[in-house]
Structure formats: C-alpha cells, structure tokens
Chain A
Amino acid sequence: DAGVIQSPRHEVTEMGQEVTLRCKPISGHDYLFWYRQTMMRGLELLIYFNNNVPIDDSGMPEDRFSAKMPNASFSTLKIQPSEPRDSAVYFCASSLSPDYGYTFGSGTRLTVV
C-alpha cells in the first residue's frame, strides 16, 4: 500500500484565494482525519470522518474552512478565503478505528502571503 497520499506537497497562495488540499486514505480504513500543525499550537484535529460522514468538526477554526469526503478514497479540505494565519502544515491521516494508531500522510505545507 502506498500509504496516505496528500497533494499538493507545497502550496503558496495569496491572501483571499481559495485553497484546496487533497487526501487519499489507505484502502479499507474507515476513518479519515484532518490535522493542522503549527509551532505555536502543535497538532490540532480539525475534523474527522467515519465511512465518509463527518463525525466531529469542532476543531474547524471558522466557516472559511470546509471538508468533504465524497467517497471512501478521497477527501478535500478547502479554505476560502485564505488568510496568512492559515499558514501551517496540514496532515491527513487514516485509521481502522478512532481509538487505534493513525497513519499520517506527508502533509501539505501551506503558505498564505
């Protein structure tokens, strides 16, 4: 298995632009998680899905952030409009169970200028 695949690896965008991050989880993993990592706040859970259904989105910072999982093999995290404070590394992870080990992707480094 190729693991959790995220794209793009790096994204530089201007403030106000829409940004879409993509994730392909490991086949057979029913749970998908989106995390954000910054020096100041560490690893923060934004949202997680079970069988393509959003279960907990309490970590989504504000309405500018949205996430979808249209099928078991694809998820997106969208920021519209983007702001400089959104600059961070965004990770997608998947798992067989929410109380088990997670497999993380290599992340997307987002820079909003």
Chain B
Amino acid sequence: QQQVKQSPQSLIVQKGGISIINCAYENTAFDYFPWYQQFPGKGPALLIAIRPDVSEKKEGRFTISFNKSAKQFSLHIMDSQPGDSATYFCAANGRKNSGTYKYIFGTGTRLKVLA
C-alpha cells in the first residue's frame, strides 16, 4: 500500500519530442504528488507538483496529468531538450495513521534526450 510504481526505468527521446513518465500509487490517503529532477552529482530538485483536486497542471514545457480514479499520474515533457536529460522521480505524500507524513518516491526514470 505504500508503494509508488514508476515506469519506464529509462527513456530515450529525440530532441523536440514528448517524454512521458508514468506513476501509479495504491494508498488513497496520498494527497500531494510532486515530480523531482535529478542531475548527476546533485540532489533532487522539485520540478512540478499536483494535488488530487485538479486533473492537470502545466508549468512551461512540463505537465502533470492526474487520474484519481485510476490512481495514476504522469509527467509530460513537451519539446524535450538535451538539457532535460536527467533522472526523474515521482513521489506521493500523505499523512500516516500515526499523524506523521511520509514521501514515497518512485524508483526513477533515466531520461536521455538526443540532440
């Protein structure tokens, strides 16, 4: 119930193409769904996030699509650029029965955008 399943594990996209990364969760108590971008040697950086009261959020070339009934959410990167080459993590956050919070991270997708 605490898992977030992310796919694909790796992705190669041509410059200008659309990159799509998918995540699925099980725990309906999750109420915050962020995406993080991580470059080699750096920590993850918050890219975009969504809450379950909306089905889509767009920031520049990055869009989150959220399907509450299917318990799935995805990241779309439009007009992908070589500079987008990084590892992307989805996450889900919610309050546990104990009252504490816990982010659950997906396993990551290594994206490579070819010039």
Contact = CB atoms under 8 A, between A and B. Distances in A.
A4 B95 CA distance: 24
Given A56-B100, A99-B32, A91 B93 contact: no
B31 interface: yes
B18 interface: no
Interface string B3-46: 00000000000000000000000000001101000000111111
Contacts of B44: 43, 91, 102, 104
A20 B93 CA distance: 29
Interface residues of A, number: 19
Please tell me the size bucket of the interface on B: 20 to 34
Of B43, B46, B89, most buried by chain A (CB within 10 Å of CB) is B43
Contacts of A99: 31-32, 93-95, 101
Nearest to A101: B46
B95 to A, nearest CB: 7
Contact of B102 (A45, A93, A105, A107): A45
A106 B102 contact: no
Contact of A101 (B49, B89, B98, B105): B49
Contacts of B62: none
A45 B45 CA distance: 16
Interface string B59-79: 000000000000000000000
Contact of A103 (B46, B102, B103): B46
A21 B42 CA distance: 16
Contact of A107 (B43, B49, B106): B43
Given A56-B101, A99-B32, 7 more contacts: A42-B106, A99-B94, A101-B49, A102-B44, A103-B45, A103-B46, A106-B41
Interface of A: 4, 42-43, 45, 48, 55-56, 91, 93, 98-107
Interface of B: 31-32, 34, 41-46, 49, 89, 93-95, 98, 100-103, 105-108
